[in-house]
Structure 1
Amino acid sequence: MSGITPDPWHDRVVTDPRLSGASIERVDGEAGTVVLVGVLHDHPASTYRVRTVLDAVAPDVLALELPPLAVPLAAHHAADDLTPPALGGEMSAAIQAADTERVVGIDGPSIGFLGYLAAELYAERASLATVRRTAAALRSVTSTAVTRRAAAAVAALTTLQVAVDGPTAYDTGRRDDPERQAAEERRRIETAESMLRVFTPPPAAAIKRTARERYMADRLATLGRTGDVVAVVGRAHLGEIAGHLRDGE
């Protein structure tokens, strides 16, 4: 493939608010295009958006905002007979819809991410208390990632669907009501953005977020040198990751 041009899902944008341009970004590179799909975890509008983009294009790589350790469990959920899968939210829906076998997790924890986190702590001249809180948060997400990997291993040996976290419930009405789905998703995103503007996050949280966004952007830049990429990332990270990618061109 030599770039995703034009965006083949755009003919639906005018009739389906779930495909708002505010939730889809693209960054064209010399070797390939990175299409970023912003999502709200488990939201049906986000799941629809992910599936629509992936139904329209065949990327060389599907990149997910998941730790590498968590990808096998998402892939297990994606093998569900239901469409979209009953478990795993938009991440498993993306794997199910993608016409590629190359699925990668681009988020921490990972060895590479630790370097970015350490660099950010150093750049911010973080206090000892901030370092300790950052380390505690890292231990927590690492424990969760390891649990997901263990659950995938158990699931591979059985016919059971193993759930680490239950799906989030949203009041979006019927599955075929795009207006209501889009409005409910937009309301939740705007509420979250308003909270971020009003409340300054603790230093440890801000450092971790910055490190994650830079790490994910650099991972996507590397993947984009090998072909076209569709990346499913949290809506809150969409703008920063896209900005880092464009700055690195």
Structure 2
Amino acid sequence: MSSDDTHSDPRLNPEYVRRVRSDDGDVVLVGTVHDHPASAYRARTVVERESPTTLALEAPPLAVPLFEHHAATERTPPAFGGEMSAAIQAADTDRVVGIDGPTVSFLRRLVGRLWRDRASLATVRATWPALWTATRAAVTARLAATLVALTTLQIAVDTPTAYDTDRDDDPDSQAADERDRVRTATAMLSAFEPPPAATVRTGTREQYMADRLATLRTTGDVVAIVGMAHLDAVAARLREHD
């Protein structure tokens, strides 16, 4: 990201963007806070600037059609779908993919990770409720996308997160609020040791997303919209492919 971009708008903070270069193609990772207006602006702007061959979302493939439906509106950014739909709306490519689980291949990786780690029975048991919740949410999103495609209904499967700033606030206020939330989240993650099941799930997700991005970049440059908590880990794992 150029210095001109950085100085022109505080929401385009280069601290929240990673570029991983390779002979195959570049992957630009955009870190976001879910539903935050500053994150939606950054996602949209980076996608417009990079004009990638592929737009990758930290979302299960089943959920992508619903985000695409939210993006198909004249309102900018879209009312629903947060940074994901904002990125889709800005993209000039039809290749939009979900790179997160649950998928069959993700499940195989998760089981393999539990086996290799010789995870305790308690860890194995604690892993499945979160996986079931994610699977149910993905299926719900896919069913909602099917319904809205057949009707004129507008359906959101989750309520947009409310913040102290909104899309109409000035860029400085949005950027400041986002920074505060990133700092708070980082401090909380540093203060508490995650349970083993959460560590396994997170590590598997980040490796899975990095592997998917490594494959996607073989056909051209990629912009990936990911949660801020996964930004550095996915970038590091992606660099291991080089």
TM bracket, shorter-chain basis? over 0.9
| Whole-Å separation in 1 of the counterparts to 2:194 and 2:233 | 16
User: What's the counterpart of residue 90 of structure 1?
Assistant: 83
Counterpart secondary structure, 2:219: coil
Distance 1:173 1:133, change over 3 A: closer
The alignment status of 1:69 with 2:68, answered yes or no, reads no
* Unaligned segments of structure 1, at least 5 residues: 1-6
Q: Does 1:181 align with 2:174?
A: yes
Q: Measure the CA separation in 1 of the matches of 2:4 and 2:112.
A: 43
Q: CA deviation at 1:131?
A: 0.6
> For the residues of structure 1 that align with 2:85 and 2:24, how far apart are their CA atoms?
27
CA RMSD of aligned residues (A): 1.2
1:103 aligns with 2:103: no
Partner AA of 1:240 in structure 2: A
How far is the alpha carbon of 1:10 from its aligned partner?
Answer: 4.5
Residue in structure 2 matched with residue 158 of structure 1 by the alignment: 151
Q: Does 1:217 align with 2:213?
A: no
Residue 234 (structure 1) aligned to one of 224, 227, 234:
227
Partner of residue 50, structure 1:
43
In structure 2, what is the equivalent of residue 23 of structure 1? Answer: 16
How much identity, in percent, do the aligned residues show? Answer: 61
Q: Counterpart of 2:138?
A: 145
Provide the residue aligned with 2:105 in structure 1. 112
AA in 2 matched with 1:157: L
Deviations 1:39-97, CA, capped at 9 Å, x for gaps: 00000000000111111121000000000000010001011221110001110111110
Query: Once the 2 structures are TM-superposed, how far is the Cα of residue 110 of structure 1 from its aligned partner?
Result: 0.3
Q: Deviations over 1:116-166 (max 9, x none)?
A: 212221232211111111112111110110000000000001111111111
TM normalised by structure 1 equals 0.94
What is the rounded CA distance, in whole Å, between the counterparts of 1:11 and 1:58 in structure 2? 19
Q: Residue 193 of structure 1 corresponds to which residue in structure 2?
A: 186
- In the alignment, the residues of structure 2 paired with residue 106 and residue 134 of structure 1 have an alpha-carbon distance, to the nearest angstrom, of 20
Structure 1 Cα separation of the partners of residues 23 and 8 of structure 2: 32
Q: Secondary structure at the match of 2:168?
A: coil
Shift of 1:15: 2.6
3-state SS of paired residue (1:169): coil
TM-score (ref. length: structure 2): 0.97
Post-superposition CA distance 1:88-121 (Å, at most 9, x none):
1110111110010000000000011112212221
Contact 1:29 1:225 in 2 (8 A): no
Q: Report the more deviating stretch, 120-129 or 50-59.
A: 120-129
Matched pairs, number: 242
2-structure distance, mates of 1:194, 1:176? 26
Q: Find the counterpart in structure 2 of residue 246 from structure 1.
A: 239
User: Paired residue for 2:32?
Assistant: 39
Structure 2 counterpart of 1:227, which letter? G
Structure 1 window deviating more from structure 2 (230-239 vs 117-126): it is: 117-126
